[in-house]
Structures are given as C-alpha cells and as structure tokens.
Chain A
Amino acid sequence: MSTRPLVEYESVDKYFGETHVLKEVDLAVEEQEVVVVVGPSGSGKSTLLRCANRLEEIQGGEIRIAGDLISGPDANVNRLRQQVGMVFQSFNLFPHMTATENVAVGPRKVKGVPESEATKRADDLLGRVGLGDQTASYPAELSGGQQQRVAIARALAMDPKVMLFDEVTSALDPELVGEVLGVMKDLATEGMTMLTVTHEMGFAREVGDRIVLMSDGEVVEQGAPESFFESPETERGERFLERLL
C-alpha cells in the first residue's frame, strides 16, 4: 500500500570488534523489486542481509521493514521477522522434522495456525517448489537442492513481504544449483520482493532488477543489470567484472 520501500537501510554502520564491516550503507528495496548484491568475499554482503532481519545488530543508522524500524531498541523483532523470509547458505532445516513439519512449524507456533491447516498449506508450498512427493522425508534423506527448496518453502509459509537469499546456492553441487535458481526465478516472476546475495552472475543478470556492488563494506555502484554488466560506471566495478572472466 505505502509508497515507502519495503527494506530501507539508512547510513548503516556495523562493526565486528574493531573491523568496520558496513560503512554508512544506504540501500532501498522497492516493492516487487529483485535486488541482487554482488561483490568479492568479505565485502559485507551477507552481513548486510543478516542485518535486515536483525540476526546482526548494527551500531549506527537505521533499518526499516515496510516503514517499521527493526534496528531500534523498541522494535518488535519477532513480529517484523515474520515479514522477512530468510534462506541460508547452509539450509538450516530442522533435522528432527519432516519436510512438511519444517514448513508448517512457523505458521503453527508463531501465528497459531491450526495444525491441519498449516500442514495442508505446507504440502501446497512443497508442491510449488517441486517437492510434492517428498513431504514425509526428513532433511537427511533429501539432496542439497531439495533441502534448499524446502527451506524456501519454509520461509514462504510465513507469507513474508520480502525474501532474503544469502548465497543459497554456494553450498550446492553444481548440478543442483539450477533447480534452486529456478524456484527463485519463479518467485521473482510472481512479484516477490527479493534481496539476494549471490555469486551466480547469470542469475543476477537474468532475474535481477537492480545490481548492487559491494566492496569493503560500501555500496560502490548500483544500476540495472544490462548497464552494470556491459559498462560499469566505476573503476571498482570494472575490476570486479574483469575478475569474473
């Protein structure tokens, strides 16, 4: 409804001890926009993402989710996190629950959805990510690509306004990357707002609405995929692209 961006970073500073990992970062993700953050390892991409649902505390600036401050001391973090779906590099599925239970546990425990309803919805979501026949499997019985798709369904089950993807294909065998990117592409097509950290430049180029290049904790360049990949504006952007070749 609002015209405000769904995710807003305003001069965000983040330190790990003495190390300044995010330096006055400004970034906004508009509704239905797919923003892809790229950059070398250690540039602060993942930290940037993890601050958005307050898995990391920031030391300066503000972060807002749909206009609500998530970074302040009075923020209702548990409520705001329900609006932010998070998918991790290492899946982090709950190993003692089946695929269905993994997806249903959030709505059941956090939103109080009755078990039968949550289970039905979970199975629908698993069908949507192509796992309709694996609902009763435990994570240990699934491949990495299947596990990551369960993790996406688990995040979607909370009906988030925005999805965060933190290098979700980096831990996968190369032949399993495609199935996960396919699900993400479908989500983007359906209009999901996404903030994605990835090393998959093909995906960034094809699915991204905007590319954000980070280096040493700063956003050094951002723009549409075509212009970024064809003719980067900064020397830092040029060097980054050169190294990809």
Chain B
Amino acid sequence: MSETQYGRGDESPSSPFLNDQRLKIIGIAASGLFTLAVVGFLGVILYTQVNPDRFVNIIHPQFIDAFFVVLRIVAISSVLSVTGGMLVGLGRISETLPTRGIAKGYIEFFRGTPLLFQLIVIYSGIPAFWPPGQFPIANFSVPAAIIGLTLNHSAYIGEAIRGGVEAVPDGQMEAARSLGMSYAQAMREVVLPQAWRNALAAIGNDQVILVKDTSLLSVLAVPEIISTVQNINSATFDIWTPILWAAILYLAITIPLGKFVRYLEARADPTGGPR
C-alpha cells in the first residue's frame, strides 16, 4: 500500500525532496514501523482481550440499536443544522445592521460555550420552567439532543458559509448587478452557488464532528454508542469488545460521510463536474 504511494512520487518529480533517496527510505521505514505497531497492538487486543464468540453473537444487538439511534439523530440534526447554518450565514453577511448583529451574537454564543453546556441548558434548564413533573414532552432526551446539536452546528456552518461568500470576488456581484439583476438575484444566481462550493469542505468537516459529538449525548441519557460501551462494561467487565464495536460503528458513519462530501465537492467543481 505505502509502496505504491511512494512509487507515484517517482513518476512526478515536482519537488527535489521527493527524489531524495534517503528521505524516501526514512519515510518507508517510519510508515512501516507505524503500521507494524498498530497491527501488533490490534493483534494483542484481539488475542488477549476479545472473545470472538461474544464479539459477534452476544453484544452487537445492543450496539445496532445504539447505532440507529445515533444515525437518526445525525440525519435530522444534519439537515436542520445545514438549513439553520444557511440562515445564520446569510444573516452574518446581511447589509442590515441588526440582522448582522444578531447572527454575530448567535455565533459567538454557540461557538464560545461548550456543546455539553448547551445540551445541559436545553435538557435540564428548559423543563425547569414547569412545575416538577409537568413538562409536556415525555421523552425529552432525543428532542433535546437534536435541538442542541442543531443550534451548535448551525453556528459553525454559518461561519463556513460567511467565509464562502467572502471568498467570492467582488467582481462577481458587480458583473451580476451590471446585467440589471437585483441584489437577491445576484446572490441566488451568482454568489451563493460559488460560496456553497467554497464552504463545502468546511461544512463536511463540521458534519463529521457532529457525528462524533453524539458521544456527548450520554449525559442526556440518550442510548447512544458511548453509553452502550459503559453499560456493557459495567455488566460484563469486558471493555475491549465494546470499544472495538464503538470504533467500527463511528467509522461506519464518518468514512462514508467523508466520501459523500468529496463527491459533492467534485460535482460542484465547475470544470470537472456536471454535464
């Protein structure tokens, strides 16, 4: 695997460093050692800590449930936070001072305080306005999780979109307005499509973080992956089997998500993409 990658460097000697034989040997040695260490560590874990029978048959149904809980929360929060982030981002670049100020304050608060804090405010703080036991939503943990993740990630996506818009040269707006387009038309037809492309990588990055942020939902008693690890560990005293399952399940979401974002980026590329 690493062999072929180094081979590719040979064919395009763009930098003198790539042709340095010694550097190449050091690189191969370092990556070889690293691979060996990882494989060895995994081998030791699998051999000494994990019972293959239990790995496959006993534990995984609980994880499958947790996986789908996480997947559902991610799917909903993802759609809502990208939509919310658009609004926040547009507010941030608005020419109206109050709109811009509100968007800025929103971003400062939700980026400036920990997500865990925000989740507690929503999950425990909001029901406190009702007399004990009177809060109308019975199972508030999943709704609270979705609200918290959405509000938090809308702030990050808003910033990504603002950055994307600011990276579009002023001449684009001028050219569009010179054709007689209104400000809104110029934004819709010319600026935002380019801003979206500019912001895609940052938005994708944020969505991967959103997946990993679901690990915090254990404090809201959401039956997600980390709380499943802890439950199984305290019931069976087995830690490495649930840890391995957790790793597999997180990567099962984040790796395809990353690929999907790269696909969107390629599709949005004006010369390499559509038609």
Query: Within 8 Å of chain B (Cβ to Cβ): is A92?
Result: yes
Asked if B178 and A81 make an inter-chain contact with CB atoms under 8 angstroms apart, the answer reads: yes
Contact of A229 with B by CB under 8 A:
no
Q: Do A110 and B180 touch (CB < 8 A)?
A: yes
Known A-B contacts A95-B194, A96-B193, A140-B271; the reply to A84 vs B178 at CB < 8 A is yes
Given contacts A94-B190, A95-B194, A140-B271, contact A105 B179 (CB under 8 A): yes
Give chain B nearest CB distance to A196 CB in angstroms.
16
Contacts of B166 in A (CB 8 A): none
Q: How many residue pairs at the A-B interface have CB separations less than 8 Å?
A: 71
Contact: A82 with B180, CB < 8 Å?
yes
Interface size class of B (residues with CB under 8 A): 20 to 34
> In the complex the two chains form, is A81's CB within 8 Å of B177's CB?
yes
Q: Decide if A96 touches B194 in the complex (CB within 8 Å).
A: yes
State the interface size on chain A (CB cutoff 8 A): 30
- Are the C-beta atoms of B180 and A158 separated by less than 8 Å? yes
> Closest approach, in angstroms, between the C-beta of A118 and any C-beta of chain B?
12
| Interface: A141 (CB within 8 A) | yes
A110-B185, A140-B270 known; A82 vs B179 contact (CB < 8 Å): yes
Give chain A interface residues in 114-163, CB to chain B under 8 Å: 136, 138-141, 151, 154-155, 158
B179 contacts A106, CB within 8 Å? yes
Indicate if A32 sits at the interface (CB-CB under 8 A).
no
Are A92 and B271 in contact, with the CB atoms below 8 A?
no
Q: Is A165 an interface residue (CB 8 A)?
A: no
Cβ contact within 8 Å between B189 and A109: yes
Q: Does B172 make an interface contact (CB < 8 A)?
A: yes
Q: For the complex, what is the distance from the CA of A73 to the CA of B85, rounded to whole Å?
A: 34
Which residues of the partner chain A approach B180 to less than 8 Å between Cβ atoms? 78-79, 81-82, 106, 110, 158
Cα distance A154–B189 when bound, in Å?
15
Contact between B270 and A110, CB atoms less than 8 A apart:
no
Please state if B178 and A78 are interface contacts (CB–CB under 8 Å).
no
> CB within 8 A of A154: which of B172, B177, B179, B275?
B179
Residue of B nearest to A137 (CB): B271
Q: List B221-275 residues whose CB lies under 8 Å from chain A.
A: 268, 270-271, 275
A90 at interface by CB-CB < 8 Å: yes
* Contact residues of A between 52 and 106, Cβ < 8 Å to B: 53, 55, 78-79, 81-82, 84-86, 88, 90, 92-97, 105-106
How far is B176's CA from A8's CA once the two chains are assembled, in angstroms?
24
- Interchain CA distance A201-B45 in the complex, whole Å: 79
* B270/A86 in contact, CB under 8 A: no
- Given A94-B190, A96-B270, A140-B271: A110 and B171 interface contact (C-beta under 8 Å): no
Q: Are A138 and B271 in contact (CB under 8 A)?
A: yes
Set of chain A residues within 8 Å of B179, measured between Cβ atoms: 81-82, 105-106, 110, 154-155, 158
Nearest neighbor of B186 in chain A, beta-carbon distance? A109
Task: Name which of A79, A109, A138, A158 has the most chain B CB atoms within 10 A of its CB.
Answer: A109
User: Is B181 among interface residues, defined by CB-CB distance under 8 A?
Assistant: yes
* Binary flags per residue of B182-205, CB closer than 8 Å to A gives 1, else 0: 100100011001100100000000
When C-beta atoms are compared, the residue in chain A nearest to B172 turns out to be A92
Contacting pair B171 A109 (CB below 8 A)? no
Which residues of B lie under 8 Å from residue A84 when comparing CB positions?
178
- Chain B, residues 162-178, CB within 8 Å of chain A (1/0): the string is 00000001011011111
Q: Which B residue sits closest to A81, measured CB to CB?
A: B180
Asked if B172 contacts A94 (CB within 8 A), the reply is yes
Whether B175 lies near A92 (C-beta < 8 A) is: yes
CA distance in complex: A95, B197 (Å): 11
13 A/B residue pairs, CB under 8 Å, sorted by A? A53-B178, A78-B180, A79-B180, A82-B180, A85-B178, A88-B174, A88-B175, A94-B189, A96-B197, A105-B189, A106-B181, A110-B185, A155-B179
| New A-B contacts (14) at CB < 8 Å, excluding given A92-B175, A151-B175 | A55-B174, A78-B182, A79-B180, A85-B178, A90-B169, A90-B171, A92-B169, A95-B270, A96-B194, A96-B197, A97-B270, A105-B179, A110-B185, A139-B270
